């Protein structure tokens, strides 16, 4: 998260990016997530909100009528009171200490997977709510949060911090800690982790919900041929000189983290001191700078469009329509894959919907899981 602006966008500038989206506001009836408890294949409209003559008579809206999905914000003030304790533990994975959080005693297992630079605390608004009817776990991927951060240069392997590494970690977590298959709920870069895990061991994944999955715009294949040497040179400069550590130090401050978060959160009131500290403090842990410098040079590896056709489980894609880093116009293409059952538009939400708009995301997770829990 600290410098998501670099890895998620084709620009390396940390200034605010604008991708204006125009929607029609002419509506007869707003449909909230609670109005569509068991939506199925392609219930999505092209307008921000949509109208139906008799909403009580249907449980879903067919793909023959619409192309994308929107969720109204009318449920924003309907806050659920929960008193479920979230516990923290560590897991030894291949000799490394991995932090995870968990709560809930019954129901399907969910694993919440954070994005680049974030950690399991980014799901603090989701864990206790989803735990009312699920067993919920959030994990710090190796290299992030309060999990160990081995120096990749000392390991003697190329691209240790890769989607294959994290995908294997996620699968082993299901086997060793949960002892069961699970649904993967993923944000940004975490979406590629979930997809990779589902491909490596499909028997462990019951379904994947992707929230603003990273488009990987700095991937080598997405750069014009004439720009590739420049990007590679810049990455090597950061990785192999003191410039990289200086740059990391300049963004690893409360002021810089808050500024970056205010870029990717449309509702900046959600960028609280608590959030800033949750993102910043693990980034000050020993080894964090090495992980950061390693990953910004990771311009290879899989793309979402390469992984999606290989997944066998149900996939739901949801997108905050005000995301400045991963524009929704490009994200919509993922809704066309046969493996993706729906594309859901989250109105007036940025890059991290689970934290900015949990009142939209939590019911969406519950609905998705309910549709596939008995399959």
pLDDT in tens, the chain (375 residues): 444 443 443 333 222 222 222 222 222 323 333 333 333 333 333 322 222 222 222 222 222 222 344 444 444 444 445 578 999 999 999 999 999 999 999 999 999 999 988 999 999 999 999 999 999 999 999 999 999 999 887 887 778 889 999 999 999 999 999 999 999 999 999 999 999 999 999 999 999 999 999 986 666 666 676 766 777 777 777 777 777 777 778 788 999 999 999 999 999 999 999 999 999 999 888 888 888 877 676 666 788 999 999 999 999 999 999 999 899 999 999 999 999 999 999 999 999 999 999 999 999 999 999 999 887
Predicted local confidence at residue 148, as pLDDT: 96
Predicted local confidence at residue 64, as pLDDT: 25
Predicted local confidence at residue 71, as pLDDT: 47
Predicted local confidence at residue 81, as pLDDT: 53
Two structure tokens written together for 317: 């894609």
Phi-psi region of 62 (alpha: psi -120 to 50; beta: other; left: phi over 0): beta
Two structure tokens written together for 334: 């993922």
Predicted local confidence at residue 105, as pLDDT: 93
Predicted local confidence at residue 273, as pLDDT: 95
For the chain, where are the E strands, in sequence order? 69-70, 87-93, 96-103, 109-113, 135-139, 182-187, 205-211, 315-320, 340-346
How far is residue 101's CA from residue 88's CA, in Å, rounded to a whole number? 4
Two structure tokens written together for 332: 């919509």
């Amino acid at each position: 998260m600290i410098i998501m602006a670099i890895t998620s966008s084709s620009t390396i500038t940390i200034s605010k990016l604008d991708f204006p989206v125009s929607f029609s506001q002419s509506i007869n009836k707003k449909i909230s997530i609670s109005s569509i408890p068991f939506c199925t294949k392609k219930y999505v409209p092209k307008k921000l909100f949509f109208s139906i003559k008799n909403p009580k008579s249907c449980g879903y809206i067919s793909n023959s009528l619409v192309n994308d999905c929107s969720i109204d914000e009318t449920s924003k003030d309907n806050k659920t009171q929960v008193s479920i304790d979230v516990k923290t533990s560590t897991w030894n994975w291949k000799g490394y200490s991995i932090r995870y959080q968990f709560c809930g005693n019954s129901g399907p297992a969910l694993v919440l997977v954070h994005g680049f630079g974030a950690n399991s605390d980014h799901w603090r608004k989701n864990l206790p709510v989803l735990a009312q009817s699920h067993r919920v776990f959030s994990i710090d991927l190796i290299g992030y949060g309060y999990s160990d951060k081995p120096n990749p240069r000392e390991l003697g392997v190329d691209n240790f911090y890769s989607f294959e590494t994290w995908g294997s970690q996620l699968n082993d977590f299901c086997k060793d800690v949960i002892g069961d298959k699970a649904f993967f709920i993923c944000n940004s870069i975490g979406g590629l982790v979930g997809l990779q895990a589902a491909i490596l061991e499909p028997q462990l994944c019951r379904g994947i919900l992707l929230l603003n999955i990273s488009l990987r715009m700095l991937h080598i294949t997405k750069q014009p041929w004439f720009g590739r040497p420049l990007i590679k040179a810049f990455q090597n400069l950061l990785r192999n000189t003191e410039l990289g550590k200086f740059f990391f130090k300049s963004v690893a401050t409360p002021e810089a983290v808050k500024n970056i978060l205010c870029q990717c959160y449309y509702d900046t009131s959600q960028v609280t001191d608590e959030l800033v500290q949750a993102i910043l403090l693990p980034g000050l842990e020993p080894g964090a700078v090495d992980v950061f410098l390693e990953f910004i040079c990771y311009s290879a590896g899989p793309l979402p469009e390469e992984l999606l056709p290989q997944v066998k489980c149900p996939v739901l894609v949801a997108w905050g329509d005000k995301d400045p880093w991963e524009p929704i116009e490009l994200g919509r293409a993922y809704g066309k894959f046969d493996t993706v059952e729906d594309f859901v538009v989250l109105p007036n939400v940025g890059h991290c919907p689970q934290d900015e708009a949990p009142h939209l995301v939590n019911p969406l997770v519950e609905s998705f899981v309910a549709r596939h829990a008995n399959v």
